[in-house]
A and B are shown apart, each in its own frame.
Chain A
Amino acid sequence: MGFYTLSYLCILVFILATGYRVYRQWTLPIHLRWEIYPVQHETTDKLAHGGSYMEELNWWEKKPGGSLFNEMKYMVPEILFIRGLWKENRGLWWVSFPFHFGLYLMIVTFSLMVLHALVILWGGNTVLAGGAIGTLLNGLIVFMGWTGLVLGVIGSVGTFCRRIADPELREYSSFVDYFNILFILLFFLFAFFTCLFVDPLLEGAKGYVFGLLTGGGSLNGSVPGQSFFGGAAIVLASLLVAYIPLTHMSHMVMKYFFYHNVKWDDAPNLRGGSIEAAVLENLALKPTWNAKHVEADGRKSWLDIASSVPKEMK
C-alpha cells in the first residue's frame, strides 16, 4: 500500500500545483495587448503572410473573423512534434523531440491503462479477454509504452549530453537544469528496465493503475512494485508527476497561456464590452512607483495619473 499512498500524494500535489498555476493565470488582471504575428487563429488569407484584421479598412465595422481550424493546424504539430524548434534550432530538435514525445507517450500509455481499468471495472475482466477491443487496447498499451520508453531514454540521454557538450547551453545551465533531466532519465531508465526484465507486456503496470483506481485492488499478481526496477519506476514516476508542475517544466501546460493570453491575444477593446470593464477595474488600481515623474502617492489611481502631465522631470 506504500506505493499507492506515495502515488496518491504525488497526484494530489500535481493537481494542486497545476491547479494553482492555472488559477493564478486565470485571475491575473487583463494586461495591455502584446501580440506577435503571425497570430494563428487569423483567417487563411491573412495567415498566409502573417497579417491581421487591422489590415482591413475600418476594421472595427467588420465582423470579427478568425479560424479555430487554422489555430489547430498550427498547434497540433507544434505540441506533438515541436515544429517551432524543428524550424529554428534543428540541432536541438533531434534530442528534444524524442525527449518530449517520450513523455507524451507515457501520458498516453497511462491514459490507456486508466481506460483499461475502467472497462474492467464496468464490465468485469472478461470484457477484454480475447475480444478485438481487448486485443487492440492491450496492443496499444504495449506499443505506446515501449515506444515512449525507448524515445524517452534516447531523448533524455541526448538532452543531457547536449547540455553538457554544447558550451552555449552549458554556461547557462544550473544544477537544477541537470537534475531535472537526470530525474526524467532515471525514470525512463527504470521503467525501461522494468519492461525489459520484468513486465514486457505491461501487465504489471496495468495492474498497478487498476490498483490506483480501486484503492489498492490488484488485477493480477505481477504488479511492478514487486520487483526492484518496478518499485523504483513507480517511485520515480510518482515523484516526477509531483515535481513537474513545481518547475519551469510546467511549460507543458502553461504554453496554452503563452499563446492564448499573450502571443495571440489580439481581441480588440470595444466600447461597452467585457474588456473595457476589465480595463476600467485596472485603471482604478493605485500604483506606488517611486520615481518623481510618476507622481504616485498611493491615493491616485492609474486613471488619475494617466490624465495628468508630470510636474517633475526625473
Chain B
Amino acid sequence: MKKTVKPSDMAKPSDCLCHIEPGELSPLPAPYEDFNQTTVPSLNPEKVKNIETSLDDTVAIGIPKPANREEEEALVRRFLSGLKKLFEKENNWTFLQPLLLSMEHCAKCQTCSNACPVYEMSGGKDIYRPMFRAEVLRRIYNKYLKPGGKITAKLTGDIDLNWTTIARLAELSYRCTLCRRCATVCPVGVDNGLITHEIRKLFSQEMGISPKELHEKGTVQHLRVGSSTGMNPLAAKDSVEFIQEEMEEITGYKVEIPWDVEGADILLLHNAGEMLAWPENVGAFAIIFQAAGLSWTLSSETVGYDAVNYGLWYDDVQLARVAVRHADIARRLKVKKIVMGECGHAHKALTVIADRLLTGEINIPRESAMVTLEEIVMSGKLKFDPHRNNFPVTLHDPCNYVRLMGIVEPQRRILRKIAPGFREMTPHGVENYCCGGGSGFAIMSPYNFESWRNLVSSRKKFLQILNAFKDEHLETPKYVCAPCSNCKGAIRDIISYYHAEERSRLHYGGLVELIVNAMADMKKPIIQFGDEPSWKP
C-alpha cells in the first residue's frame, strides 16, 4: 500500500521523507523498457555528510547542516523574519497581490496535482503535489505569524516548525519547474507555482540560500563578469569570431556578426550558453538577419551579450539588477527594439516580468525572435526549399514564452512553411508540458540531481517526444525543434541519458537552424544527423 506523506510530516525527523522505489516511475515504451526499473542513484554518503538530504533521493541546493541547536534556532528565526517580509509591500510589492490571493483561497481540490508532470511521472509521490509545498508554507504562516495561529492551527491544519521543516521546504522548492501548468487548471485561480517561486525568494533574499548554479555562478557572475557562462566580453567576442568562421565552413555562406552598432534597429540578445554549446544557433540567426537585410547588433558590454536572467527563478533583486542592465545597454546603443533570441526564460524575464520595473528611457520595446523570424520567413525576402527539411520534426513549446507570454503561432507558421514533416506533440501550445529543465533545472547538476531530472521531471517530455514520432521507423532521423536554450539543454540530456539517438535516432536543435537548413542560398546543410548531412549538397 502506498505510504501517504502529509504536510505535517515535513517536521518529523527521518533520513528520507520520500523515496522512489524501482518500478514506481511512469513506464516508458519500447525500446526503453530497460529503464523502467531504473531509479535515482543513491547519494554518496561521504559527499553529503555535511548537508541536508532528508527530503528525498536527491539534493538541489546542498544546504550545510547547522553546527548546533543555537544555529538551528537562529535559522528558524531568520526564516520567520523572511516569511513576514513576503507579506510586506516594502519588501515584496513585486508579487504581494498574487501571493495573498493564492495563500488565502486554496480549496484543496487536488486538480493541480493531475496537471503536474513531476507528480504524475514520480508515480504520484505526495511531496511533489503542487499544493503540498504551498500547504506547508500556508500552515507555517497561519500558525506562526497570524494572531492566535497556534490555537487555530489545530482547526485549520497544524505543522511544527523546526530546522528539518525549513531545510526540506527549501529543497522542495527546487522540485517544481515553475511551468505553472497547475495554475492554468486551478478552478479558483490559485497559483502553486507562484508560491514555490516565493519560497525560493524567501530563502535567497533573507537567508542567502539558493543553488550556486543560479546565484554565485549565475546572477552574481553574470553581473560581475558579464555572463553566467563565465565568459567576459573578450571571450564572447572571440567565440563569435569563431562562429563566423564555422558558419562559412559549414554552410558555405559568409556572415559578418556586428558588434555594438549604435543606432541599429535591433539589439539581439542571445543566451550566451548558445555561443559555447550550440554555436550554430548564433550563426544561424546571423545568417538569417544578414540575408534579410536587417539592421542589427550584438552588445559586447558586460551583461549585454548574455540574455539570461536567472533571478526570474529565485530572487527579485537579482532579476531587477540584470533586467535594468539589459535595458540600459539597449538605451545607450540607441536601438529601436530588443529582440530576444531562442531563450525562453530570458523572453519572459525582460519582456513581461521586467515590464513593470523598467521606466522612462530604459523602457525599450522588446520583441520575441519568433515574431521577427516569422516576418522574415513570410515576407518573401528569403527563398526556401522546404524539401531540404524532409525529415520528421516536432516542436517543443517553451513554457516561458508560450504559456506565459502567449507566443504560440509564429513559430508554427514558420514550421508549416519550411518543414513538411512537422507534427505537433500532444498536448501542445499553452497546454504543453515542461521540458523538465525549467526554473534552472537544466543548468543544475549537483550530486545526483541530473539523474533525478532525467528520470522524473523530464520524463513526461521524453514520453511526449516518443509519442510524436511513434509512427516513424526507429531508423529514421528525427528532429525535436526546441527554440529555447534551457529546454534544449534538458532535451539534449534526456536524449543522451536514454540513448535515444542510438535507439530512436532522435536529434534536437533550434528553430533558426531549420530555417537556415531550408534556405535556398545555402550550399551545404547546417543540420547533421550524427555524421550524416540532413540533405545532399
Contacts and interface: CB of A to CB of B under 8 A. Distances in A.
A172 B112 CA distance: 13
A100 B404 CA distance: 30
B91 A251 contact: no
16 contacts: A29-B89, A32-B94, A32-B353, A32-B357, A39-B406, A42-B406, A54-B368, A54-B406, A55-B407, A55-B410, A84-B187, A89-B114, A255-B188, A275-B356, A289-B317, A305-B321
A25 interface: yes
Contacts of A87: 185
Interface string A118-130: 0000000000000
Interface residues of B, number: 95
Contacts of B154: 175
A261 interface: yes
B519 interface: no
B101 interface: yes
Contacts of A36: 180, 183-184, 191, 403-404
Contacts of A88: 111, 114-115, 185, 187
Contacts of A289: 82, 85, 91, 205-206, 317
Given A172-B131, A262-B98, A289-B85, A251 B107 contact: yes
Interface string A55-78: 111111000000000000000000
B530 interface: no
Interface in B126-182: 126, 131, 135, 154-157, 180
A279 B429 contact: no
A25 B189 CA distance: 15
Binding site secondary structure of chain B: helix
Interface string A275-314: 1100110110111111111100000001001111110011
Interface of A: 24-25, 28-39, 42, 46, 49-60, 82, 84-85, 87-89, 92, 96, 167-169, 171-177, 179, 248, 250-251, 254-255, 257-259, 261-263, 266, 268-271, 275-276, 279-280, 282-283, 285-294, 302, 305-310, 313-314
Identify the interface centre among B6, B91, B360, B402: most chain A CB within 10 Å of its CB. B91
Interface in B313-362: 316-318, 320-321, 323-324, 337, 351-360
Instruction: Return the 5 tightest CB-CB contacts between A and B, nearest first.
Output: A52-B406, A258-B189, A50-B430, A314-B208, A306-B320
A262 B189 CA distance: 9
Contacts of A42: 406
A176 B353 contact: no
Nearest to B221: A313
Given A54-B407, A258-B101, A302-B320, A176 B95 contact: no
Interface in B397-426: 402-410
Interface of B: 4, 6-7, 78, 81-82, 85, 89-91, 93-98, 100-101, 104-111, 113-115, 126, 131, 135, 154-157, 180, 183-191, 194, 204-208, 215-216, 220, 223-224, 316-318, 320-321, 323-324, 337, 351-360, 363, 365, 367-368, 370-372, 374-375, 402-410, 429-430
Given A262-B189, A294-B205, A55 B404 contact: no
A40 B78 CA distance: 41
Given A28-B100, A89-B109, A172-B131, 16 more contacts: A28-B89, A28-B96, A34-B353, A51-B409, A54-B368, A177-B108, A251-B188, A257-B97, A263-B189, A263-B191, A269-B358, A282-B93, A285-B89, A309-B321, A310-B220, A314-B208
A58 B372 CA distance: 9
Given A51-B406, A254-B101, A263-B189, A34 B194 contact: yes
A39 B352 CA distance: 14
Contact of B430 (A37, A250, A261, A275): A37
Given A28-B97, A289-B317, A306-B320, A171 B359 contact: no
A14 to B, nearest CB: 17
Nearest to A268: B355
Contacts of A60: 365
Contact of B404 (A37, A177, A179, A292): A37
A158 to B, nearest CB: 13
